Amino acid sequence: MRFPEPFLAAHGYGSAARHPLAGDADLRRYARLTGGPRPALLMDAPPPQDVRPFHALARHLLAAGFSVPEVIAADEAAGFLLVEDFGDATHAALLDAGADPLPLYTEAAEALAALHATPPPPGLPAWDAGAMTRATAATFLDWWWPAAFGAPPAPEIQAELGEALAEMLAPHAGARGFVHRDYFPANLMRLEDRKGFRRTGILDFQDAAIGHPAYDLVSLVEDARRDVAPEIRRATLATYLAARPGLDRASFLGAMAACGAQRHLRVAALWVRLARRDNKPGYLVHGPRCWALLDRSLSQPACAPLRRFLDRHVPHEMRRNPPEAA
């Protein structure tokens, strides 16, 4: 991790103690700074990453009343931000420590409903069928397929997957709004001193886009990294829908199934890319969960186009981590 001494000194953190935090699946790194003017984290996002989306979205979401980290100082060109430190009480850490999941998930649903009801800032990219297809191809076709079959997919396979995803997602193209895209417990914080939807701190929103709100709810209740009990899933969905009474329940559930099928296929293959390209095989432990979630999504009528594609080209016994990646 880089420590930009002039930048830190200029903002009162030159002599602060630095405590690097554990990394995740991307290239961003964080260090906790203690002994400065206020508790802060240093975000180090080297190129090709770009801190400007995080900075702009932080300003927008703070102005809208959400609990997101304030950006204390920025060197956007170099890829450094000093951000408010919310502490260690992520929903993931609390769940791992044995906390009751029900209030955490329902609080997360309340914050998500408020987020989706807030007008998004201008300029966000589209998370539409085209973008979702490209993201799926970048993991499933580019990494999982060669690992599973020993060769890249033929061009007609690539075209057929795009057609299947477009057909599956087309019925839900009309509902567009702010989507976080990674709304799950590791990116949520319990802030005990705040009330209402502000009790949930929201992190890692830099990849936000304009898409269907069902995508974020899938991220939360069909988590790629942890099992969610059926009763917690039902309560979370009920809380979200109660907060947004104008939504059509049947249409929203269909969109959840379609968004879930795309997400689970993409992420199941993402673990293979992380193992083979980035030498992070530990993520493969989540593969069986993602394939099981995909199987559940494919049982829904809304997912018939993708189910037909997979039934033609990927036998059920192959829907798993490829042996050489396991």
CA pair distance 114, 218, nearest whole angstrom: 16
Q: Assess whether 198 and 224 both reside in one domain.
A: yes
Instruction: Indicate the pLDDT class of residue 22, thresholds 50, 70 and 90.
Output: confident
Q: Assess whether 51 and 141 both reside in one domain.
A: no
* Arithmetic mean of pLDDT over the chain: 96
Q: Assess whether 64 and 153 both reside in one domain.
A: no
Domain at 267, CATH number:
3.90.1200.10
Residue 70: give the domain boundaries.
Answer: 5-84
First to last CA, the chain: 29
| Predicted confidence (pLDDT) at residue 10 exceeds the cutoff of 80 | yes
Q: Assess whether 67 and 106 both reside in one domain.
A: no
Q: Assess whether 316 and 292 both reside in one domain.
A: yes
What share of the chain in percent tops pLDDT 90?
94
Domain at 59, CATH number:
3.30.200.20
Q: pLDDT (tens digit, 9 = 90+) per residue, 62-108?
A: 999 999 999 999 999 999 999 999 999 999 999 999 999 999 999 99
- For 32, other C-beta atoms within 10 Å of its C-beta total 17
Instruction: Indicate the pLDDT class of residue 25, thresholds 50, 70 and 90.
Output: low
Q: pLDDT (tens digit, 9 = 90+) per residue, 262-311?
A: 999 999 999 999 999 999 999 999 999 999 999 999 999 999 999 999 99
* Nearby residues of 111 by Cβ (< 8 Å), 6 or more positions away: 66, 67, 188, 197, 198, 199, 200, 202
Q: Assess whether 18 and 163 both reside in one domain.
A: no
Whether this model's pTM surpasses 0.75: yes
The average pLDDT across 31-48 equals 94
| Predicted confidence (pLDDT) at residue 257 exceeds the cutoff of 70 | yes
Q: How many domains does the chain have?
A: 2
Q: Assess whether 42 and 154 both reside in one domain.
A: no
The secondary structure of residue 166, as a DSSP letter, is H
Q: Assess whether 28 and 100 both reside in one domain.
A: no
The average pLDDT across 162-188 equals 95
| Predicted confidence (pLDDT) at residue 157 exceeds the cutoff of 90 | yes
Q: Assess whether 36 and 126 both reside in one domain.
A: no
Predicted confidence at residue 175, as pLDDT, reads 82
Predicted confidence at residue 27, as pLDDT, reads 77
- For 69, other C-beta atoms within 10 Å of its C-beta total 24
Q: Assess whether 152 and 25 both reside in one domain.
A: no
Q: Assess whether 183 and 252 both reside in one domain.
A: yes
Contact at 8 Å (CB) between 23 and 62?
no
